[in-house]
Structure 1
Amino acid sequence: MSGQTEDLLLGVALRRVAERYAYAADLGDGDLFAAQFVDDGVLESPRGLFEGRAALVAVPALLRARYAETFHAVHNQVVHPAGEGAEAVTYCIARHFWHGEAGDLLCYEMTIRYLDLFARETGQWRLSRRRLVVLGTRTFPMEAAAPFAQRD
């Protein structure tokens, strides 16, 4: 395989990890979320440091306890092979919805840059370390287009 083809396949594989991470967070699926990390993987976030799959599995439940719904959108990702692993910078927008005291729907939006380290484990690319860097936030009112919790 040519170097360009290998780079392209690596980029697709790592993007799929980032997309499954976002999907698992929104779905509230702790097992799927933790499966995107190697056994001793680490997530560094403003809410704390989560080390190992036993800690990582709880992250989506923490989001669900705080918000009525979340929406994580993966934008661009820049990937670089690094020894036996890979590094990436992954750009995202994360929206977190909740009902205010007056019953109004509010959104807390984060503009995020993830600094990612990847490793291959059992033949699959997984995150070994993900550092969430918040570039900016804003809170604003929303109008709901569909009821929450309809994920079918």
Structure 2
Amino acid sequence: MILHKDGGILDQLAALIGDWDGTLQRRYCHLSNASALLSECLEDINWVGFYLVDDSGQKLVLGPFQGKVACTDIPFSRGVCGLCARTAKSVRVDDVHAFADHIACDSTSRSELVVPLLDAKGRVVGVLDVDSPKLGRFTSMDQEFLEGAAAVISRLLYS
């Protein structure tokens, strides 16, 4: 379940990012606040953050996040995040231990939802990753919400 406090979360997210000046430093600042806002709004999660495509275009590198220490590099060929980056489609996994190529950064995570961030040309520039210690935590409504959040972030920071 997602908590909607004092107005729409997506509107709050857009307001946080609305003054981006185009610099890489400020982009990281806004992604940091986005991960903090999502962390406060999502129940039963233990990690939320971003992995960004590196210069090679073949792997994801850790970006701003909220949660425990995380994996720093994820090849496109591996894991739930890699699958999302390869296909440019959201991936919802009810049981990460049953996902053949899951990368376990935190052994307490049981379910995961990963949503792509796309630039103006539809290319993957990163992913929004959310983990939960609860089996089957994420619903289609959660996926729709996080896809909306990713769309706001993509439009304001990568277009």
- The alignment's TM-score, normalised by the length of structure 2, stands at 0.23
Q: Which has the larger radius of gyration?
A: 1
If the length of structure 1 is used for normalisation, what is the TM-score? 0.24
